[in-house]
Amino acid sequence: GTKTLKLNTGNEIPVLGFGTWQSPAGQVEKAVEAALKAGYRHIDCAWMYGNEQEVAVGIRNSGVPRKDIFITTKIWGTYHRRVEEGLDDSLKKLGLDYVDLLLIHWPVPLVVRGEEKIPVDENGKRMLDQERKLSETWADMEKVYESGKAKAIGISNASQALLEELLPKVKVVPAANQIELHPYLPQHDLVRFCQAKGIVCEAYSPLGSTGSPLLQEDAVQAIAKSKGCDPAQVVISWGAQRGVAVLPKSVTPSRIESNATFVALDEDDMRKLNEIYQGSGKQKRFGMPAWGADFRFDDWKVPGA
Ligand code: A2P
């Protein structure tokens, strides 16, 4: 679990990160503590997950020094016009004075209405802040980067089309793009594009998220059997070997521990895992595109850079 990738800031990011999305309050504190005790040195958080205060307790209880941990959090859609305020709130909840990586959670600015996280209008439609350009939010990300409160800045859920629109407008190239990545959704082209631009890809839902049949796939099972390891380790190691950071989530101590050990996959294993997505009839994307039915990931331009 000590393998790292180099960010375009010069800092290293541990390939193995611990996911905290959908970890219920009351469990995430213990899970984070268990992860740090099992050797994870990278915790992936977000303001939106609503559990940063508990993550903080887990970090404290682990006894692992803050400086030895890579901590990410994310700016929610309702904070695109107040990036620093969003970061400050996360820092307060996490009990930190800086994060190692700050991401724009979704490149979708949302209207602010009270404390609502996803404001919805009377027709049930998500209320997007159509006037806000992503490049403006990025300029504010650059400011908190310069302030030192975020040691690196990046984005999440960005398509190639969106990055192509954004990159000519930035001073600081995003250090990372955190996207849904697993063998059902390998996004080979997007990963290659980001790698060519020096942007580290991070895999969320690397196990296919909760309840997915991914770990039962024949190829995954066969490789696990031949290595005498867990199917989850096969899928996590596939991600690590293709050069992306992998953020498995679990609240189960035995899984937290086994997910932290990579296995060596040969070229043939990698090829089989790379091709799983080509099978027909598989649900490929599990992450919630929370922005309504007209939202298209592949030519993501809502509302544009
Ligand atoms: P749990 O948290 O109850 O242990 P992802 O990281 O893709 O979002 O997947 C998370 C889901 O996968 C959770 O439901 C988690 O369950 C489950 N999970 C985590 N590690 C393993 C594992 N080693 N084997 C099987 N399921 C796992």
Which ligand 1 atom is nearest residue 215's CA?
25
CA of 93 to the centre of ligand 1 (A): 25
Question: What is the reported pLDDT for 279?
Answer: 79
Distance CA 119, CA 126 (A): 6
Q: Would you say how long the chain is, in residues?
A: 305
CA of 215 to the centre of ligand 1 (A): 10
Tell me which residues have their CB closer than 6 angstroms to ligand 1. 19, 205-210, 215, 230, 232, 248-252, 255, 258-259
Nearest residue (CA) to ligand 1, atom 21: 255
Question: What is the reported pLDDT for 198?
Answer: 98
Distance CA 109, CA 47 (A): 15
Distance CA 75, CA 88 (A): 10
CA of 41 to the centre of ligand 1 (A): 19
CATH number of 4-278: 3.20.20.100
| Nearest CA-CA partner of 160 in 197, 132, 112 | 197
Which ligand 1 atom is nearest residue 252's CA?
4
Per the CB < 8 A criterion, the answer to whether 104 and 156 are in contact is yes
Euclidean distance between the first and the last CA atom of the chain, given in angstroms as a whole number: 36
Per the CB < 8 A criterion, the answer to whether 225 and 219 are in contact is no
Question: What is the reported pLDDT for 302?
Answer: 53
Nearest residue (CA) to ligand 1, atom 18: 250
- Catalytic residue numbers, as ranges: 49
The DSSP element (H or E) to which 74 belongs, if any, is strand 70-75
CA of 71 to the centre of ligand 1 (A): 21
Which ligand 1 atom is nearest residue 206's CA?
7
For the stretch 27-73, pLDDT in tens is 999 999 999 999 999 999 999 999 999 999 999 999 999 999 999 99
Q: ipTM higher than 0.90?
A: yes
Question: What is the reported pLDDT for 301?
Answer: 53
Distance CA 265, CA 178 (A): 23
Question: What is the reported pLDDT for 285?
Answer: 79
Question: Is 188 annotated as contributing to ligand binding?
Answer: no
Nearest residue (CA) to ligand 1, atom 12: 210
Nearest residue (CA) to ligand 1, atom 15: 250
Which ligand 1 atom is nearest residue 233's CA?
23
Neighbours of 276 (CB within 10 A): 20
Question: What is the reported pLDDT for 228?
Answer: 97
Per-residue pLDDT of the chain (305 residues; tens, 9 = 90+): 579 999 999 999 999 999 998 777 789 999 999 999 999 999 999 999 999 999 999 999 999 999 999 999 999 999 999 999 999 999 999 999 999 999 999 998 999 999 999 898 898 788 889 899 999 999 999 999 999 999 999 999 998 888 999 999 999 999 999 999 999 999 999 999 999 999 999 999 999 988 888 999 999 999 999 999 999 999 999 999 999 999 999 999 999 999 999 999 999 999 999 999 987 677 677 776 555 555 665 555 555 56
